[in-house]
Amino acid sequence: MQSQISKNSQRTKRLAISSMFACLALIFSYVEAIIPFNAGIPGVKLGIANLVVIIALYEMNFRYAFAINALRILISGLLFSGVFGALYSLAGGFLSLCVMWLLKKTNLFSMIGVSMAGGVAHNMGQLLVAALVVSNLKMFLYFPILMFSGIASGIMIGIVAYVIDKKVPKSLFK
């Protein structure tokens, strides 16, 4: 009985936390959309919203992280980048979340490694969809650039996520 109640309360707590996280991720998406950070190559961006997803993945589980990410992408697609942008992001977000989840399960990698792989996988997913839509294999000439940018931004986000994860009280998710 006791455990039933505490389980229910944990679910309610996590529901509230994930909706907050989805909002936060959405705000990060917005911040990213208005920052004039442009490396001159389409697709190269920071991916600050990934911060939220990584912390959700570590502190809660895959399902919550997935729901947060999917919500974030759908809403930000409707608000900022358009439906096609959302399609790219959805593929990238799903692939990167799966890769991060698998790597985390091995317990071999730190948050930074996981985030780095996630960044690369995100770009790869986006590029796959782009190549399908345009049906032009020349798109893959972009891949090395997106790969390096994914590594760089993934490491940065990983370090920040690690620092934030240390500061966030664990009782928030229990």
Partner 1 sequence: MFKIIKKADIALFVLLILIGLGLSWWSLASGTQGQKVVVTVDGKLYGTYSLVENQTVEIRQRGRLNKITIKDETVQMSYSDCRNQVCVKDGKISRTNQSIVCLPNKVMVEITGGEEDFDAISN
Residues in contact with partner 1 by CB under 8 A are 106, 108-113, 116-117, 120, 136-138, 140-141, 143-145, 147-148, 151, 155, 162
Burial class (CB in 10 A: 0-12, 13-18, 19+), 62: middle
Note whether 61 and 53 are within 8 A (CB): no
94 Cβ partners below 8 Å, 6+ apart? 66, 69, 70, 125
How far apart (Å, rounded) are the C-alpha atoms in residues 121 and 102? 12
How far apart (Å, rounded) are the C-alpha atoms in residues 78 and 90? 12
Nearest distance from C-beta of residue 52 to partner 1, angstroms: 20
Q: At residue 67, what is the residue type? A: A
Which residue's CB is nearer to partner 1, number 26 or number 99? Answer: 99
Nearest distance from C-beta of residue 141 to partner 1, angstroms: 5
Which residue's CB is nearer to partner 1, number 5 or number 141? Answer: 141
Nearest distance from C-beta of residue 120 to partner 1, angstroms: 6
Nearest distance from C-beta of residue 143 to partner 1, angstroms: 6
Which residue's CB is nearer to partner 1, number 83 or number 137? Answer: 137
Note whether 97 and 129 are within 8 A (CB): no
